[in-house]
Amino acid sequence: MKKFNDIEVIINNKRYTLSGYESEEYLQRVASYINSKYNEFKDKDAYKFLDSDLRNILIQINIADDYHKAKEKAKEIEHAFNERSNEVFDLKHELISAQTKLQSAEKKIDDLQLELNENQKKIVRLETELQDVRKKR
């Protein structure tokens, strides 16, 4: 079972305790991300004149926007991965089919080579018989 962690963090110049089963590093990254969002808006003139509720809503909207964009990007990546997986599957299928055809062609070549050898022996035998018949005349 995972260890429950408590970690002190500073967000927007205020001290908070974050708790969870995630690692302390992860909880710190979450706090750092939220803090970066506050810092992103701090220097904007329009943000300075908003009341604290509106500022917090603006930060939350931006975090939700980042979340949904990341989620959409993950879907795109998953879709691309699935397409590539299907392409790989199709290519493997084509490869197996080509290997089967190659094996079949190699078997046919071997069979034809044996037939050629037999026919060459037959030709030599028939030529020898022909020469024997000519000599007897």
**Of 42-46, 75-79, 124-128, where does mean pLDDT reach its minimum?**
42-46
Spatial distance between the Cα atoms of 93 and 99, rounded to a whole number of angstroms: 10
Q: Is position 32 within any domain?
A: yes
Q: Is position 137 within any domain?
A: no
The CA-CA-CA angle for residues 53, 69, 77, to 5°, reads 160
- How confident is the model at residue 113, as a pLDDT? 98
How many domains does the chain divide into?
1
Q: Is position 54 within any domain?
A: no
Q: What is the DSSP letter of 137?
A: -
Q: What is the DSSP letter of 7?
A: E
- How confident is the model at residue 45, as a pLDDT? 84
Work out the pLDDT band at 125, boundaries 50, 70, 90.
Answer: very high
Q: Which residue has the tokens 């974050």?
A: 18
Q: Is position 116 within any domain?
A: no
Helix or strand or coil: residue 17? strand
Q: In terms of pLDDT, which residue wins out, 66 or 45? A: 66
Q: Is position 17 within any domain?
A: yes
Domain range spanning residue 33? 1-44
Q: Is position 49 within any domain?
A: no
Q: Is position 21 within any domain?
A: yes
Q: Is position 52 within any domain?
A: no
What's the half-sphere exposure (Cβ side, CA atoms, 13 Å) at 7?
A: 19
Whether the predicted model's global pTM rises above the 0.85 cut: no
Work out the pLDDT band at 44, boundaries 50, 70, 90.
Answer: confident
